[in-house]
Amino acid sequence: MKLTKTICSIFLMLLMFISTGWAQETPNPESAADNPKLVVGIVVDQLRYDYIPLYWDKFEEDGFKRLVEQGFSFNNNHFNYFPTYTGPGHASVYTGATPSVNGIVGNAWYDRNIDRSMYVVSDSTVSPIGTDSDAGKMSPRNLSSTTVTDELKSASPESKVIAVSIKDRGAVLPAGHLGDAAYWYEGETGNFVSSSWYVSELPEWLRDFNDRELAKDFASRTWETLLPMDQYTESSADNRPYEGTFENEDAPVFPHNLRANRGDEYGIISSTPFGNTLIAELAKSAIEGEDLGSGDVTDFLSVSFSSTDYVGHMYGPHSVELQDTYLRLDRNIAGLLDYLDQQVGKGNYLVMLTSDHGVVDVPQELIDKNLPGGYFDSDKAVDELEEFLKTEFGNEEWIEDYTNQQVYLDRNLVDENGLSLKVVQQKAADFLLQFQGVKSTNTAYNYQYERYSSGQEAMYQRGFLYDRSGDVFIQLKSGWLDSDYPTGTSHGSPYNYDTHVPLLFYGWNVPEGETSRKTAIPQIAPTISNMLNISLPSGSEANILQFEE
């Protein structure tokens, strides 16, 4: 009897040991599938890193908090190049490469071949779909390397890739060259449109979505605060001289009557939180209409929330308007996650959330607080530079364009006069150092032939491409902006306020945790590729993120 009891005890102990060991080694059942059914890439335009902790106490439990607490957060995540704009940001997130490789050196740049500005996704060779206007003439033709979505389509042609955004560039660049569709908002009509690069006609589900006229409804509303005004303690006073206004408003204060300011078009909702709500609803319709996440292969949905950027530009980082936009976005994200739980199944989808750039505080506000900041008069600087070059090299028009804090010289004119481009660039760079707000200058020659291994010059070099970038680069001091912004603010610098953005992973095969190790935006695409067991994007340096604390 004792022997039998002993044997039983040993058996039970072995069983418990085996069971415990099995439980420790077996993946979470929610993450047991070989591949996720759906990847959802979320880019929140102009989401500076500090916004999530700043508004944390006002967020609900199932939006940003769910992603942070149940996912993995890379808390020291940065852009590693200049310029920090929307086009380069989306391109780098999805290509895993910097502008020097993927070709997207700005939202626009001066194209010497056509002697005018080139918009980042403009393509005159495609036809507009869903509209008769040029708003539909967009494609990824200017993107010089593949995206993670391209690699997914190459590895699995049955996989669907759909991208949605208010901004055309926020949809086109993530969709990549091989995406099934990219859809963006046309403010004139209140509809979502596309181009013949992707589709020959809008799918029925999108036509039905446009027929719901949600945009027209939102554009007829009054924007009130979500919470009582006295609860916006994380923001400054509602009425401040640093903020912009809608056309028919006397002051930048709530409530904002959109109907009274919209005119005959519906673009106004882009500058309100309703633009984000519209995109969240479109994302749900795309999941249902395209049966995303319902098959045996991995699908990809790119969602870019752009209204945070429009509101941030108009009102600045400390405005009640911006906080209200994020509180509403938090609820939009919660609703989207809940929808994914129902349609795809919790644990069956992978979410990545980041931003395309940060933003600087309103310079005048910085000045009033005795913090570094100011306004750079680029018109004055460029005009005086032109006169200097005429004095130095002859009475010619030496400057072709100025954009993205870069001077584009007439290289043909320099050559025709037998001058050294290197010398002319350096003379111009040295001259520009005298202007207030300029921290440093550098030249295309140096970025082409020198090698900067660290610091801000290395960031500029990673954003440089000889045939698309300028000849002379101006780096402004911290807190400085071009004087084109009498109210509101912008971005585009190599400073932390523009480079430090959140990076969150949640869902399929993602452990809970966080790290303060420094990471970079170009690590996102190769990490997702590695998780999906597909080829890395062509320009990626293959630096995979580690989910370790």
Spatial CA neighbour of 237 closest among 315, 329, 310, 307: 315
Query: Out of 4, 20, 84, 86, which one is annotated catalytic?
Result: 86
Q: How confident is the model over 86-124, as pLDDT tens digits? A: 999 999 999 999 999 999 999 999 999 999 999 999 999
Q: Collect all residues with Cβ–Cβ distance below 8 Å to 152 and sequence separation of at least 6.
A: 39, 159, 161, 298, 300, 532, 534
**Percentage above 70 pLDDT, the chain:** 94
Query: What is the reported pLDDT for 33?
Result: 73
As a whole number, mean pLDDT of residues 169-191 equals 98
Using an 8 Å Cβ cutoff, are 404 and 468 in contact?
no
Burial class (CB in 10 A: 0-12, 13-18, 19+), 237: exposed
DSSP category for residue 171: H
DSSP E strand boundaries for 22-104: 38-44, 72-78
Q: How confident is the model over 250-285, as pLDDT tens digits? A: 999 999 999 999 999 999 999 999 999 999 999 999
Query: What is the reported pLDDT for 240?
Result: 95
Give the tokens for residue 29. Answer: 């059942």
Q: How confident is the model over 133-168, as pLDDT tens digits? A: 999 999 999 999 999 999 999 999 999 999 999 999
Separation between Cα atoms, residue 424 and residue 398, nearest integer Å: 10
78 — alpha (psi -120 to 50), left (phi > 0) or beta?
beta
Using an 8 Å Cβ cutoff, are 91 and 85 in contact?
no
- H-assigned helices in 488-544: 496-499, 524-532
As a whole number, mean pLDDT of residues 49-60 equals 98
**Amino acid identity at 106:** G
Q: How far is CA 434 from the centre of its chain?
A: 34
Query: 1-5, 108-112, 203-207: which range is least confident on average?
Result: 1-5
Q: How confident is the model over 237-256, as pLDDT tens digits? A: 999 999 999 999 999 999 99
CA distance from start to end of the chain: 52
pLDDT band at 4 (very low <50, low <70, confident <90, very high): very low
Per domain, the residue ranges of the chain are 39-361+495-532, 374-477
Domain pair 39-361+495-532 / 374-477, same fold = no
User: Residue 484, Cβ neighbours under 10 Å: how many?
Assistant: 11
Question: Which backbone phi and psi does 145 adopt, to 5 degrees?
Answer: -135, 165
Residues composing the chain: 549
Query: What is the reported pLDDT for 15?
Result: 36
CATH fold group of domain 374-477: Gyrase A; domain 2 (3.30.1360)
Spatial CA neighbour of 168 closest among 194, 149, 145, 133: 194
Separation between Cα atoms, residue 25 and residue 71, nearest integer Å: 20
Q: How far lies 315's CA from each of 88, 111, 221, 366, 381, in Å?
A: 23, 32, 19, 14, 27
* Cα four-point dihedral sign 314, 317, 321, 327: positive
Using an 8 Å Cβ cutoff, are 352 and 42 in contact?
yes
Place of tokens 């500005």: 117
Active site residue 149: no
0.85 surpassed by pTM = yes
Spatial CA neighbour of 70 closest among 501, 500, 508: 508
CATH fold group of domain 39-361+495-532: Alkaline Phosphatase, subunit A (3.40.720)
Mean pLDDT in the chain? 94
Q: How far lies 40's CA from each of 125, 464, 476, in Å?
A: 30, 30, 36
Give the tokens for residue 459. Answer: 């960031």
* 3 state SS of 441: strand
Higher pLDDT, 30 or 354: 354
